[in-house]
């Protein structure tokens, strides 16, 4: 018999983004919607142990949150003495995507529509992405901080400032008109991909993959492609995620231990999904408007096209990372390029490139990459130190376990 708390936690993890998207659509208020959802989950934890878990827990919480939101709106209307506020926000009112006759884009999904809504140009792009991930992506502050490579308290302060700016500047939660959608697309794409990344390699916990986040991100990317079918970066984003996700069954042993790409049994890859990803990236590149998601998808495609790990075209991958660095300069891209150089042009050369990087000392994959190259170069004492640092920084238990096993095999 499942425990009420574990069921509520599962609903929060899988459905909170959808629930709060619907609440914001009805109320136009981030704070009221978040408060109503939190109160609904609190009610569930209070009543389910006594009354039993409902047949549809997500629907129960959604209905409870909806009622609490209406109560909050009634109280606000009473306090302000403005009965029209209640009439405007109750479910019988016009929904935001019906507000203007000039609107031409019909969003097929509440969460996608609210992603475009939250990515308001009055906020800087990092704030847009962080706020949207926290509100609609279902990611915790620690998970988002990891994506931005910044401390959790710093990210929390940025979220508070973003919410305050929305309130002080009276930024409305409304669907952008068609001409404003392209300006917000890059932020929405970034949100979808960061949700996928958190699902593909969870920041914390005892599972490598959060399948629910991967499925949701791929679903949203498909909606983006339906919304703008000739937008090449949408195609590249979907291709990239499909190619990565196609390896899921080969990424861990039956008892949950990590298997690296180099060691995976490629017969376990989902080749139907991989083929869809390959076709999508070819279609995107034919549009001759390259971008970062298409380049990353092209890198994933080279891995998929190699019959074995030894057949991987690392030189071409290194060249694609150099091109990606032009579009999307970052230390993480430089790190990936250095690893590709090491595998394709020489371990010493790749290690020298990694050692020249700065700003990644708190990034566990930086130390993991150094450790792996030092291991391959038969420098076990140095490799052990790098593994120790990577283990200390890794938050996911599966990844930490893999690094510990690697370190234990060193002949120090």
Domains within the chain, CATH numbers bracketed: 1-93 (1.10.1740)
The residue that leads in pLDDT, 216 or 319, is 319
Range 323-327 contact pairs with CB under 8 angstroms and sequence separation of 24 or more: 323/290, 323/295, 324/292, 324/295, 324/296, 324/299, 327/290, 327/291, 327/292, 327/295
Q: Which residue has the higher pLDDT, 298 or 228?
A: 298
Q: Assess contact for 325 and 268: CB atoms under 8 A.
A: no
Other CB atoms closer than 10 Å to residue 95's CB: what's the count? 12
Q: Averaged over 148-169, what is the pLDDT?
A: 82
Determine the pLDDT at residue 184: 87
For the chain, the residue count is 412
Instruction: Tell whether the model's pLDDT for residue 231 goes beyond 70.
Output: yes
Query: Does residue 225 surpass a pLDDT of 80?
Result: yes
pLDDT band (50, 70, 90) for residue 103: very low
Secondary structure (3-state) at 86: helix
pLDDT confidence band for 81 (50 / 70 / 90): low
Both structure tokens of 204: 């914390």
Res. 232: pLDDT tops 60: yes
pLDDT of residue 96: 34
pLDDT at 130: 81
Both tokens assigned to 337: 């390029």
**Cβ density class 179-209: b for 16+ within 10 Å, e for less:** eebeebbbbbbbbbbbbbbbbbbbbeeeebb
Helix residue spans in 287-379 (DSSP H): 292-305, 314-327, 331-345, 347-355, 364-376
pTM of the predicted protein model: 0.78
Q: Which of 395, 410, 411, 398 is nearest to 146 (CA)?
A: 395
More confident residue, 321 or 131: 321
Distances (CA, A) of 244 to 4, 269, 285: 34, 10, 18
DSSP category for residue 270: -
Average pLDDT over residues 167-172: 73
Mean pLDDT of the chain: 86
Say if CB 377 and CB 342 are below 8 A apart: no
Q: How confident is the model at residue 108 (pLDDT cuts 50, 70, 90)?
A: low
| In contact, 73 and 32? CB cutoff 8 Å | yes
């Amino acid at each position: 018999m499942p425990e009420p708390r574990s069921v509520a936690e599962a609903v929060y993890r899988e459905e909170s983004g959808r629930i709060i998207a619907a609440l914001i659509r009805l109320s136009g208020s981030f704070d009221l919607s978040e408060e109503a959802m939190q109160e609904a989950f609190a009610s569930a934890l209070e009543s389910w142990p006594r009354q039993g878990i409902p047949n549809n827990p997500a629907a129960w919480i959604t209905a409870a949150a909806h009622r609490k939101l209406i109560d909050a709106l009634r109280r606000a209307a009473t306090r302000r003495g403005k009965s029209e506020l209640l009439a405007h926000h109750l479910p019988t009112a016009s929904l935001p995507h019906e507000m203007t006759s000039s609107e031409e884009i019909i969003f097929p999904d509440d969460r996608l529509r609210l992603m475009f809504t939250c990515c308001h140009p009055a906020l800087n792009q990092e704030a847009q992405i962080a706020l949207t991930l926290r509100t609609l992506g279902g990611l915790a502050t620690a998970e988002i901080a990891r994506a931005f490579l910044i401390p959790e308290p710093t990210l929390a302060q940025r979220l508070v400032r973003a919410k305050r700016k929305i309130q002080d500047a009276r930024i409305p939660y409304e669907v952008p008109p068609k001409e404003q959608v392209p300006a917000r697309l890059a932020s929405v794409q970034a949100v979808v991909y960061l949700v996928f990344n958190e699902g593909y390699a969870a920041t914390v916990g005892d599972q490598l993959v959060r399948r629910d986040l991967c499925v949701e991100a791929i679903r949203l990317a498909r909606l983006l492609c339906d919304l703008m079918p000739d937008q090449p970066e949408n195609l590249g984003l979907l291709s990239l995620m499909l190619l990565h996700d196609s390896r899921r069954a080969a990424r861990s042993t039956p008892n949950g231990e990590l298997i690296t790409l180099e060691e995976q049994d490629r017969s376990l890859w989902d080749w139907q999904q991989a083929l869809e990803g390959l076709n999508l990236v070819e279609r995107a590149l034919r549009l001759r408007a390259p971008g970062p998601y298409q380049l990353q998808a092209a890198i994933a495609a080279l891995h998929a096209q190699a019959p074995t790990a030894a057949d991987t075209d690392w030189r071409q991958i290194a060249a694609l990372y150099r091109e990606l660095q032009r579009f999307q300069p970052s230390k993480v891209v430089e790190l990936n390029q250095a690893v590709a150089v090491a595998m394709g042009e020489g371990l010493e050369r790749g290690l020298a490139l990694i050692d020249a990087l700065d700003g990644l000392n708190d990034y566990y994959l930086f130390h993991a990459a150094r450790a792996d190259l030092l291991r391959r170069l038969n420098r076990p004492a140095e490799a052990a130190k790098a593994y120790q640092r990577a283990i200390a920084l890794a938050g996911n238990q599966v990844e930490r376990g893999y690094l510990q096993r690697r370190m234990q095999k060193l002949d120090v």
